Structure formats: structure tokens, C-alpha cells
Amino acid sequence: MGKANTILIKIVSKFVTLLGFAGAGFAIAAEVTRVKAKDVEPTALGKCIYPSSPAIKLAHIAILIILITQILISVLFCCSCRKRNSSNTKSSPIIGAIVLLILSWGCAIGGISLLVCAANRNSRQEFIPSTGQCYTVRSSLFKAGGFIGLVACILGQCSYGPDKRKSEPEEVPYQGGIAMANSRCDTVPIQSTHKQQVQYVP
């Protein structure tokens, strides 16, 4: 069961990596397909004609992927904490892993907030009389949200990833071999002194 669990964790971890890059990819696609100033046609009556854009749907898909990624990271973190408790590891690596998980969720919330803000502004249709132009969302807002979501995925993987490498070599005992070596070294002078006594008897 232990080997099966480790294999399952590795498979889910790779799937989490794919989800992180997929969320960033959908955010970049939303950035490319967003409504730009050159696509909007202002009218003489102070109105704007906006074209249809899939940027909002792509942003919502990216938000959903980031949420699923963070949930899977939290599940993997709980599994790694159980292994650490069973192997009686020190508390300092666990505290560091908790800090990384908190930072991961903070970055995820920040990326989701940027994507939600960009999606709402992309759907905004308004003519600005002071500038005489139609309102459009700023560039790189979708892209920034996707990048921060990818950083959240990387931090989440670091929260449960490094401690697996540290826990494996601690389980291998070396005291038995050292004890055998000492016992062999102790028997050598006893045999040599015995041989010297036999040589001096005649």
C-alpha cells in the first residue's frame, strides 16, 4: 500500500503541474482575445459598439483551474503531513511547509482577484466623455493573474515536495555494520596473542 500511495501522489503531482500551466495558458489566451481600443467603434451619439470576445469565458476557466489546483495541493499537503508524523520528523520542516502553503494560497487569491477584475472590466461598455474614447481594459491584466496563479502552483508543490527526499535516507540504519566491524577488530588481537603463547611454549 505504501508504494501504491507514493505512485498515486507522483501522478497527482504531475497533474497539478499540468493544471498550473493550463491555468496560465487560459489567462494568456484571455489576454490575447480581450477587447482592445482599436476594436471598439464609437458613434456620434456618444455610444460604443463593442465586439464579442471570449476573454471572459477564458478567464473564468483559468479561475476554475487555479481553484482545483489549490485544492489538490492541499490534499497532497495533508498526505505529506501524515507521512512526516509517522516518521517522527522534526517540526521545523513542517513549519516551513505550512508557510509555503499559506503563501501559495495568498498568491492564488491574488491571481484570481486580478482575473475577476479583468473579466469585469472587459465586459464594461462605457463611453468616457472627458477623453472622447470608449473604455477598454488595461493590457497585461489577464496575463498577470495567470502568472501569479502559476507561482501559487509552484509554491504549493514546494510545500509538500522537498520533505520526501529528506525522509527516505533517515530510515536506513548503519549501526549494525559498525558493531560487527568493532567485534571483528576485537577478536584479532586475542587470536594473535594466543598464537604468540603457543610459539614460546617449546
Q: Could you read off the pLDDT of 110-155 as tens digits, one per residue?
A: 999 999 999 988 888 777 777 777 888 888 899 999 999 999 999 9
In a domain, 181, yes or no: no
In a domain, 103, yes or no: yes
In a domain, 164, yes or no: yes
Contacts of 15-22 with CB under 8 Å at 24 or more apart are 15/72, 16/69, 16/72, 16/73, 16/76, 16/153, 16/156, 16/157, 17/153, 17/157, 19/65, 19/68, 19/69, 19/72, 19/153, 20/69, 20/149, 20/150, 20/152, 20/153, 20/154, 21/150, 22/65
Contact 63, 115 (CB under 8 A): yes
Between CA 51 and CA 188 the distance in angstroms is 92
Among 30-34, 41-45, 112-116, the least confident range: 41-45
Res. 97 pLDDT band, cuts 50 70 90? confident
Among 95-99, 137-141, 148-152, 162-166, the least confident range: 162-166
H or E stretch covering 41 = strand 41-42
In a domain, 201, yes or no: no
In a domain, 192, yes or no: no
In a domain, 26, yes or no: yes
- Calculate the average pLDDT of the chain: 78
Residue keyed to cell 505529506: 80
* Residue 106 pLDDT exceeds 70: yes
Residue 14: exposure state from Cβ atoms within 10 A (0-12, 13-18, ≥19): exposed
In a domain, 200, yes or no: no
Residue keyed to cell 508524523: 85
Could you tell me which residue, 72 or 2, shows the higher pLDDT? 72
Q: Could you read off the pLDDT of 57-74 as tens digits, one per residue?
A: 999 999 999 999 999 999
Res. 176 pLDDT band, cuts 50 70 90? low
In a domain, 191, yes or no: no
**pLDDT at position 169, please?**
46
Residue 147's domain spans which residues?
2-174
Check residue 44 and report its DSSP letter. T
**Number of domains composing the chain:** 1
